[in-house]
Amino acid sequence: MGPLGALLLDVLVLLLVLTVAVPPLRRAIYTRLILRLVSRTLPKMGDTERIALEAGTVWWDGELFSGSPNWTRLLRFKPLELTPREQAFIDGPVAELCAMLDEWRIEHQKDLPPEVWRFIKSKGFFGMIIPESYGGLGFSAAAHSAVVVKLSSRSLTAAVTVMVPNSLGPAELLLQYGTDEQKRHYLPRLASAEEIPCFALTGPEAGSDAAATASQGVVCRGVWQGREVLGIRLNWRKRYITLAPVATLIGLAFRLRDPDGLLARNLDAPPPAADGDLGITCALVPANLPGIRIGQRHDPLGIPFQNGPTEGHDVFVPLDAIIGGPAYAGHGWRMLMESLAAGRSVSLPALSVAGAEFAARATSAYALVRKQFDLPIGRFEGIEEPLARIAGMAYLMNGARRLTCGAVDAGERPAVVSAIVKAYLTEGMRGALIDAMDVRAGAGICRGPRNMLARGYISAPIAITVEGANILTRSLIIYGQGAIRCHPYVLKEMRAVAAKDLAAFDLAFFGHLGFILRNVARLAIPGLAGGRLSGAGPLSPAVRRGLRALGRASAAFALASDVARATLGGQLKRREKLSGRLADALAWLYLGSAAAKRFVDDGQRREDLPFLRWSLDQSLWRVEEALSGLLANFPNRPAAWLLGRLVFPFGRRRRPPSDRLGSTLARAILEDPAVRDRLTADIYLPAAADPGMGRLEAAFAACQAALPAEAKVRDAVRARRLPREPEGDLAERAVAAGVITADEQRLLAEAERMREDAIQVDAFDDLARFDAADVPHAGNGASKLSA
């Protein structure tokens, strides 16, 4: 190329830079054309989808979508601690309630005992989220969650009974949207349990697609308390409704129609659609009205919390039954999505943490108490492996629970984060219980008062299914909502296209291009990725390394997300296997962040360092696995190849937690009581008379006390100072040989006696004649039925 050619090239480059750098030129030359192209290709968004996407708030999930998370912001965030009043409630009424509960007896009597129902109502368990000014407890999300964790570790039936009035339902909706009159009337009654609420959302035709409900309400005139008023005639069929069989107040979601335009004429409301449809609406319906059928029960996997169908036929209620009054007619879908964004953050994640911590406590005890080949089974690598998974997941999951509750207490309604903790913590619980059952083996499959794991294992699919089935949550909600809502530019672009706002689209589109280039640079230039850590304070090297690695993974995820959207467009939401993998990556970024946050908040204890390392290794491996699966199945192969060179320039580097690290975790919960107590501090531990966990814990303590004496005897046998023979005889020889003292012999004998008792399983005289009246109270240790 000659001098003239070089000059022309320089001029062309300069013109290109000027036309891009100067906004008026850029809009006239490029943006207008791009806007027309995008407008033609962007799929139309319906109101239902738009409302769901816009529900809740964006929090730490937005940082993870940024490609450069502000770690200082996360580490400086201070979740609320429990107040003295909240802690006193957990130590008092919650512990007292746990002591009253016998899940084996409850299971076979098919309900909580009357005295338990009375206690729950009298102590305000149904009013945890209701402010004190209305007679409730006014607890924080952290306290609400802590109550559910402790209760869930003792009785799933009691926990679910308490969870539902404090989750998505009448109280939550009234607090957010109710009129002053509705709040004054209903909230004190709900707090005192004078009213027992349920919320009827799911129907035979509308499960995950709740907006497709066939439940209908028609605006009409009718008689209410002797007067003709404007109201709604309701018809519905709902199922899977917890507390429905005993409810006195039904929160009902239905599609409201006003075919005659009565609302518009009488209340100066906007006119309905041409077919009279006003949209999803939520109302409070007394359960004793004529036309309501209630009282039947479902049997959710044998866990006897009150759950069943409800039907209404030509049920008339006045317009002020609408939550928020007539002004909120047709706004029910938004109300539900907003409330779910907060409510889903608390109850099921708390129940899941209870399951994981309980599995860690019970399995570590059993692994030390149970012996095979003259060794506690926890000494075998085959047992160490599931023990480590249980312990690691319990640590990681509780970090996510605490962080998410902190967000809710800070005023966030984290829609995407709440979906993550609901789906991935319930899956974590299921995995922990499967591992625990494998370790427990034969003792885990024989039901009875001694078996404390089987009910959790059997009932795990309930948590997996409710509040948005995990398959749907993973494949559609987490990434589908996150890709639009949490991304720094996509929602701005969509709104600008819808409004045909050229200037706003120009800023969003070219901002998006710059965002993509920054993430390319972060991945291509060593040391550039990792997020922002300045001002975070003194951090352990493991924390710094982990956060840097998570920061790079965030940049890889953000770029992969943009490439997927750019190449697949509107097809991406139908490619659920791909969007599910992107959801996995986002979820494990959040879980890894939460584990690091927990470690720092807990004071960066050296003893907890293996749990942090396990959590980070697990999270980073799962993010890499998700992105690798995305690339392997990406339909645009050139784009996949190019993206792979940036995301994995040296190939896949991450591995799951090592065997050595797993052994460290397993030994910690077997041998270090302080570590084990911290890991499982949130659950209820019954007295030694309890035939399940109480008896096992007592045996564990006895076996731990005998460990030094056992080591002395074992070393003497290896040194051939003592012969190999049964332990009882061997202990006597050890005393005679001066290997152990007489006191140590007594410790060995007591440990052996309690070990023998703890590994027994229940047996019954006649299962065919099994009857609730024959069920022994678990507290007395009996397991043999009367003839």
User: Do the Cβ atoms of 208 and 468 come closer than 8 Å?
Assistant: yes
Q: Residue 67 and residue 64: Cα distance in Å, rounded?
A: 6
Q: Do 493 and 485 form a contact (C-beta atoms < 8 A)? A: no
Contact present, 127 and 172 (Cβ < 8 Å): no
Contact 520, 66 (CB under 8 A): no
SS3 131: coil
For 678, counting Cβ atoms within 10 Å of its Cβ (0-12 exposed, 13-18 middle, 19+ buried), the class is middle
122 phi-psi bin (left φ>0, alpha ψ -120 to 50, beta other): alpha
Structure tokens at 500: 């045909």
Q: 292: which DSSP letter?
A: E
Residues 670 and 368 sit within 8 Å (Cβ to Cβ): yes
| Tokens 């299914």 belong to residue | 465
Helix, coil or strand: residue 324: coil
For residues 386 and 382, give the distance between their C-alpha atoms in angstroms, rounded to a whole number: 8
Tell me how far apart the alpha carbons of residues 678 and 364 are, in angstroms, rounded to a whole number.
14
Q: With contact defined as beta carbons under 8 Å apart, do 319 and 115 qualify?
A: no
- Those residues whose C-beta lies under 8 Å from the C-beta of residue 641, and which sit 6 or more positions away, are none
d(CA 666, CA 662) in angstroms, rounded, equals 6
| Buried residues in 464-483 as b, exposed as e (16+ CB within 10 A) | bbbbbebebbbbbbbbbbbb
Distance CA 628, CA 135 (A): 53
DSSP 179-205: -HHHHHHHHHHHHTTSS-EEEE--BTT
Report the chain's terminal Cα–Cα distance, integer Å. 104
d(CA 518, CA 299): 54
The tokens 């690695």 sit on which residue? Answer: 549
Cα dihedral across residues 278, 282, 286, 292: positive or negative: positive
Rounded-to-5 percentages of helix, strand, coil across the chain: 65, 10, 25
Among 311, 427, 467, 697, the active-site one is: 467
Q: Active-site residue 725, yes or no?
A: no
CB-based contact 485:415 (threshold 8 Å): yes
- Alpha carbons within 13 angstroms on the beta-carbon side of residue 305 total 22
Please name the amino acid found at residue 554: S
Residues 697 and 163 sit within 8 Å (Cβ to Cβ): no
The residues that are catalytic are 467
